[in-house]
């Protein structure tokens, strides 16, 4: 078995085997309140380890004690005169009141630990119950929220479907109107084509060269062009020329039924 030693200033020595450890105790290299361990995790007083036999205490003067330590250390102190001749030497049998007190302390510690564990388990159980309750409430709230979101989504989808249906209906109406417009456009294009064709026909007035007859005109002609004769053909011709000049070319074409 390996041993570790921690002195009063916190320094750690080791590991050493059991025989070497016992030698340290006999040589007085282990302080009365030094700590010992086998794993550097759990530490205890060196004087409580039976293998070290550190069960001797010296009362050099009344009220001044040294130890516990090994018997070899006590013998060296006495033989060297380091302690008075009237000193008292005691041996702790580790089975007296201290051991009983230690056992009682251990029992009390175990009781306290048991009670602490019970309290901790109770607290954990209560916390778990409270957590489960809170989780149930959170889950209920989440399910409620999900239901509301689902309903809202369904309403939104229904509204979108209605909007899509309206758009499709509008699209159909627009398509019908477009078809009608195309038909009307074709009709108008046909009319425009006809009008364009008619427009090519220009109104042309035939200009006749007057025939000049020699001599005096006959009496009948002179009578027709006589100025004092009412409603003569010349008057009508002059009126027609004035009216045509007033109406212009467009009016004359319309009057005579000539299309462009």
| Residue reference for tokens 């003569």 | 232
Class of the domain covering 3-92: alpha beta
Of 191 and 11, the structure prediction assigns the larger pLDDT to 11
Which range of 65-79, 103-117, 205-219 scores highest in mean pLDDT? It is 65-79
- Beta strands (DSSP E) in the chain are 3-6, 12-16, 35-37, 44-45, 56-61, 64-69, 88-91
pLDDT averaged over every residue in the chain:
79
Find the mean pLDDT for residues 174-202: 78
35-39, 218-222, 244-248: least confidently modelled range: 218-222
Q: How many Å separate Cα 160 from the centre of its chain?
A: 27
**Hey, how many other C-beta atoms are within 10 angstroms of the C-beta on 102?**
12
58-67, 117-126, 156-165: least confidently modelled range: 58-67
Does residue 200 have a pLDDT over 90? Answer: no
Banded pLDDT at 10 (limits 50, 70, 90): confident
Task: Count how many residues are written for the chain.
Answer: 260
pLDDT in tens, 228-237: 665 555 666 7
Half-sphere exposure of 68 toward its Cβ, with a 13 Å CA cutoff?
A: 17
Q: What percent of the chain has pLDDT over 70?
A: 73
DSSP 227: T
pLDDT at 184: 85
Residue 31 contacts residue 55 (beta carbons within 8 Å): no
Find the mean pLDDT for residues 28-41: 89
Which secondary-structure segment (H or E) carries 94? Answer: none
pLDDT at 189: 82
DSSP 15: E
Which secondary-structure segment (H or E) carries 258? Answer: none
Cα separation, 126 vs 71, in Å, equals 57
Tokens of 135: 């989780």
Banded pLDDT at 20 (limits 50, 70, 90): very high
Residue spans of the domains in the chain: they are 3-92, 219-256
Q: Which of 239, 241, 242, 219 is nearest to 231 (CA)?
A: 239
Cα separation, 158 vs 165, in Å, equals 10
Residue 5 contacts residue 35 (beta carbons within 8 Å): yes
Point out which residues pair with 6 in neighbouring strands: 12, 35
pTM: 0.36
Tokens of 72: 């070899």
Cα separation, 14 vs 35, in Å, equals 12
Residue 30 contacts residue 24 (beta carbons within 8 Å): yes
DSSP 134: H
pLDDT at 86: 80
Residue 61 contacts residue 88 (beta carbons within 8 Å): no
């Amino acid at each position: 078995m390996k041993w570790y030693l921690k002195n009063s200033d916190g320094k750690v020595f080791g590991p050493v085997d059991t025989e070497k450890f016992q030698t340290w105790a006999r040589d007085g290299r282990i302080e009365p309140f030094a700590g010992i361990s086998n794993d550097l995790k759990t530490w205890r007083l060196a004087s409580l380890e039976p293998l070290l036999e550190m069960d001797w205490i010296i009362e050099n003067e009344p009220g001044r004690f040294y130890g516990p330590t090994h018997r070899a250390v006590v013998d060296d102190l006495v033989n060297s005169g380091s302690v008075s001749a009237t000193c008292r030497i005691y041996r702790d049998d580790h089975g007296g009141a201290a051991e009983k007190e230690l056992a009682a302390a251990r029992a009390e510690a175990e009781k306290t630990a048991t009670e602490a564990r019970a309290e901790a388990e109770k607290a954990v159980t209560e916390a778990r119950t409270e957590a489960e309750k809170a989780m149930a409430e959170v889950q209920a709230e989440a399910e409620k929220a999900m239901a509301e979101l689902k309903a809202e989504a369904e309403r939104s989808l229904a509204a979108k479907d209605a909007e899509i249906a309206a758009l499709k209906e509008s699209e159909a109406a627009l398509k019908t109107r477009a078809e009608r417009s195309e038909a009307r456009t074709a009709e108008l294009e046909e009319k425009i084509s006809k009008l364009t064709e008619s427009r090519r026909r220009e109104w042309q007035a035939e200009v006749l060269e007057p025939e000049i007859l020699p001599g005096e005109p006959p009496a009948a002609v002179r009578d027709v062009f006589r100025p004092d004769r009412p409603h003569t053909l010349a008057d009508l011709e002059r009126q027609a020329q004035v009216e045509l000049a007033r109406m212009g070319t467009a009016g004359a074409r319309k009057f005579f039924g000539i299309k462009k």
